[in-house]
Structures are given as C-alpha cells and as structure tokens.
Structure 1
C-alpha cells in the first residue's frame, strides 16, 4: 500500500484516483471543483477543495508525507508547471506529472517532475495498434523493443500442445498466459492444449510479434 496525493480531478485524475483506491492505496485528492471532490469521497481516503498553485494550500497538505504526488491538472500548463516545481521545493518524494506534448514534458522534467505521463498520446497509440492490426485484442509496449500482445492462436496451433507448437523456438516468443472467458491461466505448461476460443498473451520483440500477427488474414 502507498500513500498517494492526486492534484487535479479531470477525467485522467478521477480514473487514476478510483483505480489507486481500489488497489488498496491511501488516496488524497485535491481540486478546485467541490462537486468533483465530493463525488470521490466515498472511494478515496480524503479530499480537499483548493487551488494548488497557492503555496500555502500545498504546504497544508504535507506533501513530503506521500509516497507519490500526481499532478493531473489539464486546464493550464502553467499551473501544472508551478505545482510540480512547488511540490519538489516542499520535499515531495516522487512527482509524476501529466503532459500532452513533448515540449511540456521537457519543462516539467526540468522543473522537478521525476516522471511524465502522456495519457492522451498513450491511449491514441494503443487504439491505433488495435485498429490497424487484425486480431490484436490488447497490447503493452515495454522497453528495449519488447511488447506484450493478446492474440488468438494461429489456426495451425489449435489442437496442439504448447510444447508441440514450440513458439519460443519457432517464433522467438514466450506464452506468459492464456485467456478464456476473461480468466487467465498464467504460464501454461508444455502439455497445455491450445484451443480455438482462447487468447494467448505473448511477450517478445516487436518484430517477432509482427511476424506472427502478419499471418492473420
């Protein structure tokens, strides 16, 4: 469990607060909109109405007591920049700020952000991959050219075991789980028989995944 401060309750901030709370973290939310804060109070640990560009408001939150401080303000980049800077001045341990463009990320990083996220860009890229490639249900891009994809089995794999298909040797991919009717079976053994109506969650280099996905018609 971590203690989390989320500043700004736009769409991204609200989803982040809800998910972090459901994962068992202690979540404090702050926004100038009283109605938005009140709607989240049954879910999060606590909430406060205030303008975090005001140093006294930030100081009153005790930002150095939180494991992570998220800056999710979206209406004004100047506000996001000021809040990010003040959080670090006040001793915040880790600051993650939201950005919409690379130039914003550069300024945020120079002004104290430990990490920058691009929720709009990331969603757009994920949607582009899903809609451009046949039979891709989900994917996560990792570092150093690796990705995780959720795909159906190729027709020639159906009815054969994981060991018989030998995806690792034939395609340089690893099956980390199978998924059927929403249920995951992690690390299926060599004797697992691949079924037509299940999904395979595979990990590997993007170029190797592209080679498999390209075989779907």
Structure 2
C-alpha cells in the first residue's frame, strides 16, 4: 500500500492588491491555496477575477464589508495595504477583533510594525526592506549568488566551491567540522539542484553550493574563493 503525504489546502484572504499583493496572490494560487481578494478599487483586482476563488470590491475599513466575507472561515488574513498606513492599521485591528485566526500585515518601518503588532497583527513583514537587505548583501559580498536571511546571525548563501574542493566528496571535505557551515544543496552546471546531497558526491568545478551558517563563518569561507575579475 502506497502512502502519499498531502499538504492541507489553506483558505487565505488577501486585503489590498498592489504590486506586492499581485505577486503574493499569484504564488499562493500556484501552491494550490484557496484565495479571496478584496480591494476598494476594482481596477486593482479585475485581472484576478478568473484566478482566485472569490474577488470582491469593497473598503475593508468598513466593518460591514469585513462581516460579509466571513473572516472566521479563513486560515490566514494578509493585509497588504502598503500606501495608506492608517487604513492598514484600522483594517488589521478590525479583522482581528472580528475573528480572524491569524493576521499578517505589511510595514515599511519599525514604528509601523510596533503599532501593527499592538493592534492585532500576529506577524509583520517588511517586503521592501527585506529585498533591499538581501540585494545589498549580494552586491557587497564577492562570490555570493543568492542570499536569504534566516535571523540576525544566520543566513543561507549560494556560493561557488572552494578550488581545493574540486573532485572531493562532501565527506572528505568535512565542511561542518572545518568551516562550521552546512551544505544543504548543490546546484550543478546544468541547473540540476541536489537538495540534501549525499556525502559521497564528488564536487565539480562548476558546481555551486547552498550553505547555511553564521555571517562570520561564511565570511571566513569566502576568503578561500578567488575573486573573479
């Protein structure tokens, strides 16, 4: 008998559909979630009508609009009102008061995040800040092709391999013991990605590795990779 793991489909309400909201909704749909969108401007969501489960035009600072969507039926509510912080704060507070299970709101500054968390948000995201920080890290560090911050100290980096690693297996290199980082994936020259690679895999010169570690430890490792001219 074959057993298959099946991810639970989530029901998600997205309030406010600007540029970030469009990208978010499209990806949520690709991941097979049930998505409802609400925006006070029909033009903002017209292209979403054929894609989402439900789309509605309405001002969510109006409690009657929120009552009509059935907040308690959603696993998650995401407030993506980026241009009007006062409206974002009002909507965040209202959706929580009216029964939303979990609320994620957007902020541009720490002071906004502070108010959102005090007024109903369970979680706050900083899309612009996060993209800017990641880009700055990639542009500043040599030989970093991708960067994802995990915490203030730890991050995931995509880097080329150290020249001395060519032809050697992960077991021979013993990255964890020598460099205090973990290899979580290998990206081969043809684009194939090996997640959690086997320790007997022999690294090739064109391979990239995704590693997780502290910024200090990764900085030491990067010093062993020659800078490209």
**Normalised by the shorter chain, which TM-score bucket?**
over 0.9
Q: Residue 109 of structure 1 corresponds to which residue in structure 2?
A: 117
Q: Residue 153 of structure 1 corresponds to which residue in structure 2?
A: 161
Aligned length: 217
Equivalent in 216, 221, 224 of residue 212 of structure 1: 221
2-side partners of 1:138 and 1:105: how far apart?
27
Q: Residue 52 of structure 2 corresponds to which residue in structure 1?
A: 44
2-side partners of 1:50 and 1:182: how far apart?
44
Matched, 1:74 2:82: yes
Q: Residue 6 of structure 2 corresponds to which residue in structure 1?
A: none
Equivalent in 104, 114, 129 of residue 96 of structure 1: 104
2-side partners of 1:16 and 1:116: how far apart?
15
Deviation at 1:163, TM superposition (A): 1.4
Structure 1 window deviating more from structure 2 (56-65 vs 178-187): it is 178-187
Q: Residue 203 of structure 1 corresponds to which residue in structure 2?
A: 212
Q: Residue 148 of structure 2 corresponds to which residue in structure 1?
A: 140
Deviation at 1:178, TM superposition (A): 0.5
Matched, 1:189 2:198: yes
Deviation at 1:150, TM superposition (A): 1.0
Deviation track 1:123-152 (CA, whole Å, cap 9, x = no partner) reads 000000010011111122113622111111
Equivalent in 67, 71, 74 of residue 59 of structure 1: 67
3-state SS of the aligned residue for 1:113? Answer: coil
3-state SS of the aligned residue for 1:74? Answer: coil
2-side partners of 1:198 and 1:158: how far apart?
9
1-side partners of 2:57 and 2:143: how far apart?
45
What is the root-mean-square deviation of aligned Cα atoms in Å? 1.2
Deviation track 1:79-125 (CA, whole Å, cap 9, x = no partner) reads 00000000011010000000000000000011010000000000000
3-state SS of the aligned residue for 1:4? Answer: strand
Structure 1 spans left out of the alignment, 5+ residues: none
3-state SS of the aligned residue for 2:65? Answer: helix
3-state SS of the aligned residue for 1:107? Answer: helix
